[in-house]
Amino acid sequence: MNELPTLPEHSAAPGAAPHADQYSAPAGGRARSSGGDSMTEILQRPMTVVVILLALLLAAHAWSTRSNLLKLRMEMANRLQKGEVVNTETSTLVRTVQDQTKDLQAKVSLLENRQVEAQSQQLALEQLYQDLSKNRDEWALAEIEQVLSTASQQLQLAGNVQGALIALQNADRSLSRSDKPQFITIRRAIAADIDKLKALPALDLTGVALRLDNVITQVNTLPMLADEKPALPAKPVKVAAAPVAPKAGVASATAAAPAPVKDSMLVRVQDVWQSWTGEMWDEVRQLIRVRRVDTPEALMLSPSETYFVRENVKLRLLNARMALLARNEVAFRNDLVAAQDALAKYFDTRAGTTQAAQALLRQVQASNLAIEMPSLSDSLNAVRNYKAKP
């Protein structure tokens, strides 16, 4: 192998001017030096490329590192800002939570106080319920006794049969809820009283009261004897005569022969004459009228006195209505008789309205109020005997 040329001991710097000794060297030495320079250049070029590449890599690394650092700084700054905002919001939330916690604590303390009060009230109610449950039967019997006593008074004083029946049925229903055999005697007595009340004859108090109200409303329209123009007497109802069926032979003859014209004209003239004479006779009857009055003082009443007579009759009828509702038969009869006497004395009894009012009063007077009301003593005695037991 050929040996590599060695570098001179005093090599010049690259790019520097060659030394004078080099030019004074012989030709052989010049050839060696040129060979050594080429090798140096060959060796120095890769190194330069490597150095340049390393420098570029370092510069790129430095630039990327610097950009990364800038990004990190920006990100850190943003995160710090966000952290400050979050911290502010967190502190606000913490304050709000603290305030809410204080409010909740106050409410919890209030609820605890109320719970304690509710518990104390519940205990008191339980004790009261226990006390009442022990005497529940006594309370129920006392209530039934009071109801039966009131119903008995209403039955005896006002004859309120329906009210007494409702009271007895309610008492029996309340006793049936307890379902105790000790109440069988009381329920048997109540059932007997219910049967007594249902067996009473029915009296249409409402219908009788409505008839009295109808007569009261008609009093102001009834004609009186003292009126200037008394009412005409009620006309009797004319019963139309049934047409007589003609015989077969006569019917066929009359159907065959037409009626003469003169007969039809005569019939028309007779009808017109009878109607005209009837109207004239009615007018004459109204001009002159003869009446017989048993009480002449009824004709001498002034308008104010007639007003008081009507009001007196209405007052009598109202008293009769109140006596009817109170089952006071004596007062009921007396008031009806007084009202009927006033109608017969001061009012025109020939008028149809007066006759209708008198007929209604006679129907009302025919009602029987003398119904003996039973007492509820059996039910009351059964309840009181049960309460008296030890």
Average pLDDT over residues 93-118: 89
Distances (CA, A) of 88 to 79, 84, 92: 14, 6, 6
Q: Average pLDDT in the 111-135 region?
A: 81
380 within 8 A of 145, measured Cβ to Cβ: yes
pLDDT digits (tens, 9 = 90+) for 62-103: 998 989 999 998 999 998 888 888 888 888 989 999 998 998
**Mind listing the pLDDT tens digit for each residue in 129-182?**
766 655 677 777 788 888 888 888 877 776 677 778 888 888 888 888 776 777
Which residue do the tokens 């109202």 mark? 318
**Whether residue 255 has pLDDT greater than 90:** no
Q: Which of 43-47, 216-220, 327-331 has the lowest mean pLDDT?
A: 43-47
Q: Which residues is 347 bridged to in the sheet?
A: 224
The reported pLDDT for the residue numbered 23 is 41
**Eight-class DSSP state of 370:** -
Q: Give CATH for domain 136-200+373-388.
A: 1.20.120
Element (DSSP H or E) covering residue 216: helix 205-218
More confident residue, 282 or 253: 282
Whole-angstrom distance, CA of residue 116 vs CA of residue 103 = 20
pLDDT digits (tens, 9 = 90+) for 43-58: 567 788 888 888 988 8
Q: How far is the C-alpha of 124 from the C-alpha of 193, rounded, in Å?
A: 42
- Quote the radius of gyration of the chain (alpha carbons, Å): 67
pLDDT of res. 242: 41
Q: Are 298 and 305 in contact (CB under 8 A)?
A: no
Query: Can you tell me the distance from the alpha carbon of 121 to that of 161, in angstroms, rounded to the nearest whole number?
Result: 45
Q: Among candidates 380, 374, 372, which has minimal Cα distance to 190?
A: 380
Q: Which residues contact 344 (CB under 8 A, 6 or more apart)?
A: 358
Element spanning 179, H or E: none
- pTM assigned to the model: 0.41
> Taking the CA of residue 197 as centre, how many other CA atoms within 13 Å lie in the half-sphere pointing to its CB?
26
Q: Average pLDDT for residues 109-119, to the nearest whole number?
A: 89
Tokens of 381: 């005695």
Q: Where are the domains of the chain?
A: 136-200+373-388, 204-228+296-371
Name the helix (H) or strand (E) containing 331. helix 329-346
pLDDT tens digits for range 331-356: 888 999 999 998 888 888 888 888 99
